[in-house]
Copies of this chain bind each other. A is one copy, B any other.
Amino acid sequence: MSSDVSEPRLDDEVAGLKELYRDFAAADLMPLWTQRDDLMPVAPRPTAVPAVWRWSQLYPLAQRAGELVPVGRGGERRAIALANPGIPGRPYTTATLWAAIQYLGPHEVAPSHRHTQTAFRFVLDGQGVWTNVDGDAVRMSRGDLLLTPGWSFHEHHNTTDSPMAWIDGLDIPLIDQLDAGFYEFGPTELSSCATPERSRSERLWGHPGLRPVLAPDRPSSPLVAYRWEHTDAALRDQLDCADEGLAFTVEPGHAAVRFTNPTTGRDALRTIRIEMHRVCGGVSTEPVRAVGSAVWQIFAGRGRLQVGETSFEVGTGDLFAVPSWTRFALTAADDLDAFRFSDEPVYEALGLDRVDGGAGR
C-alpha cells in the first residue's frame, strides 16, 4: 500500500513484489493501490488548462487556409479547431467540447453530411452563408445561433462575393471517448439553393409559446435558428426588469438567457448547453466553479477574466476555455456580451453535476 512504501522491506519481499507486478502486467492487470490517488482524486484534476485564443490571430489564419486549402468532400469543412494546450495531440478545446473557426470563401460550398455528434454555429460577424439543415435553408447572420442536432444532414453554401467565418461548437471529444460516433456522407448536390429570410423551422417553431398541435416532442430543438434580434431583446428586457426590482438576472448587472428546445423547455441540444450573457460595464461576476467545462466567445465588448490561477484581457471575438472545477469570474470593462457553451447537460443527465459559488446557480 502507498502508505507503506517508505518502510524498509526485506529483500525477499521486494523481489516478490516486483515479480507480482511483472505477473500482473503479463496478465493485463493493474493494481489499484499504486495509482488510487491518480485514478480517484480528491477533486477533478482536468488535463485541459485555462486557455485563450485571439480572434486577431484566428481570423487571419482562417483567411490563409481559405487561400491554400480547398473545401470539399473528404475533409468536408474548412474548420480549424482550438486545441487545448493541456491535451496534447488531440484537437479538444476541453475534455468534452470541440470549438473551431470555420471559413467559407465566396460561392464555396461545404458538402452535406451528418453525424451523431451534436453541433451548432455561432456568428460573430458577417452574413451571406446559408446552412441547409435536413433541407431547410437557414440564413446565418451576425449574432445568430444555428443548430444542427445529431444525425441531421447539413451543408453550407456562400451565395456572396465575400468570405464569411463563424464558430462551430461540437461534442466531438465526448463522443470520441464514448465510442458513440456515426458518420454519413450526404448527396453531393446541394439539397436547397433557396435563400429565404426565414427558415421553415422558424416559421413552424419561432412563435413564443406556440406549438403546432400535431408536432411531437423532440430530443433536440426543432427550432434551429435563434436570431440576434430576439436574444438582444431578451437580455435588454431582463436587465430592465431587474431595474424594476424583479430578480431574474443571474446577479446585479448580469443577465443571461439559455437557448432551449420549445417542445420540452430544456436545453436546445442534448449534450451542449448554450447561453448568451450580458455583463454591464464595471460589473464583476461572482466567482464560480462547476463540474464540467465551458467555452466562451466575447461577442461584443472588453473585459478581464480570472480562470483558476490565470487571468486574461479579452475583447470582441476572443475565445477561451474553462476546464472542469476551475474557478471562473469575469469583469466587464465596458458593456459586454459573451456567448457561452458548456457540457452541463451531460453531467445533469448522469447525476454528476456539482457547483461551488456563483450567484444563485
SS class, residues of chain A in contact with chain B:
loop
Determine whether the beta carbon of B268 is less than 8 Å from that of A265. Answer: no
Q: Give the docked Cα–Cα distance between A67 and B19 (Å).
A: 13
This chain: copies in complex = 4
Q: Judge if A329 is at the interface, Cβ distance under 8 Å.
A: no
Given known A44-B180, A219-B351, A350-B271, contact A3–B75 (CB-CB < 8 A): yes
Q: Which residues of B contact A230 (CB under 8 A)?
A: 207-210
Q: Judge if A13 is at the interface, Cβ distance under 8 Å.
A: yes
The one of B29, B116, B175, B184 that contacts A82, using a Cβ cutoff of 8 Å: B29
Q: Give the docked Cα–Cα distance between A36 and B323 (Å).
A: 24
Determine whether the beta carbon of A214 is less than 8 Å from that of B32. Answer: no
Given known A212-B257, A240-B203, contact A183–B74 (CB-CB < 8 A): no
Convert A244-278 into 0s and 1s, putting 1 for each residue whose CB lies closer than 8 angstroms to a CB of B. Answer: 10101110000111111111110010110001000
Q: Judge if A193 is at the interface, Cβ distance under 8 Å.
A: no
Convert A313-333 into 0s and 1s, putting 1 for each residue whose CB lies closer than 8 angstroms to a CB of B. Answer: 000000000011100000000
Of the A-B pairs whose beta carbons lie under 8 Å apart in the complex, a sample of 23, sorted by A's number, is A1-B70, A1-B74, A2-B74, A17-B69, A27-B53, A27-B61, A28-B85, A36-B77, A44-B181, A175-B352, A178-B346, A179-B293, A180-B354, A203-B237, A204-B241, A205-B208, A206-B208, A207-B231, A208-B230, A210-B234, A217-B265, A260-B262, A261-B265
Determine whether the beta carbon of A352 is less than 8 Å from that of B64. Answer: no
Q: Give the docked Cα–Cα distance between A223 and B209 (Å).
A: 8
Which chain A residues have a beta carbon within 8 Å of chain B's beta carbons? 1-4, 13, 16-17, 20, 23-24, 27-36, 39-48, 51, 53, 57-58, 61, 64-65, 67-85, 91, 95-96, 100, 115-117, 150, 172, 175-184, 200, 203-215, 217, 219-221, 223, 226, 230-231, 233-234, 237-238, 240-241, 244, 246, 248-250, 255-265, 268, 270-271, 275, 291-293, 323-325, 346-347, 349-352, 354, 360-361
The one of B3, B30, B292 that contacts A73, using a Cβ cutoff of 8 Å: B3
Could you tell me the distance in whole angstroms from the C-beta of A136 to the nearest C-beta in chain B?
9
Q: Give the docked Cα–Cα distance between A96 and B34 (Å).
A: 20
Could you tell me the distance in whole angstroms from the C-beta of A66 to the nearest C-beta in chain B?
11
Determine whether the beta carbon of B178 is less than 8 Å from that of A17. Answer: no
Could you tell me the distance in whole angstroms from the C-beta of A264 to the nearest C-beta in chain B?
5
Could you tell me the distance in whole angstroms from the C-beta of A194 to the nearest C-beta in chain B?
10
Instruction: Identify the closest chain B residue to A43 (Cβ).
Output: B182
Given known A40-B172, A231-B210, A351-B270, contact A95–B179 (CB-CB < 8 A): yes
Q: Which residues of B contact A4 (CB under 8 A)?
A: 70, 72, 74
Q: Which residues of B contact A68 (CB under 8 A)?
A: 13, 16-17, 20
The one of B182, B213, B217 that contacts A354, using a Cβ cutoff of 8 Å: B182
Determine whether the beta carbon of B262 is less than 8 Å from that of A264. Answer: no
Q: Which residues of B contact A3 (CB under 8 A)?
A: 72-75
Determine whether the beta carbon of B80 is less than 8 Å from that of A31. Answer: yes
Q: Which residues of B contact A75 (CB under 8 A)?
A: 1-3, 32-34, 36
Q: Which residues of B contact A23 (CB under 8 A)?
A: 61, 64
The one of B27, B96, B214, B260 that contacts A211, using a Cβ cutoff of 8 Å: B260
Q: Give the docked Cα–Cα distance between A209 and B234 (Å).
A: 11
Determine whether the beta carbon of B212 is less than 8 Å from that of A205. Answer: no
Determine whether the beta carbon of A178 is less than 8 Å from that of B95. Answer: yes
Determine whether the beta carbon of A42 is less than 8 Å from that of B184. Answer: yes
Determine whether the beta carbon of A324 is less than 8 Å from that of B40. Answer: no
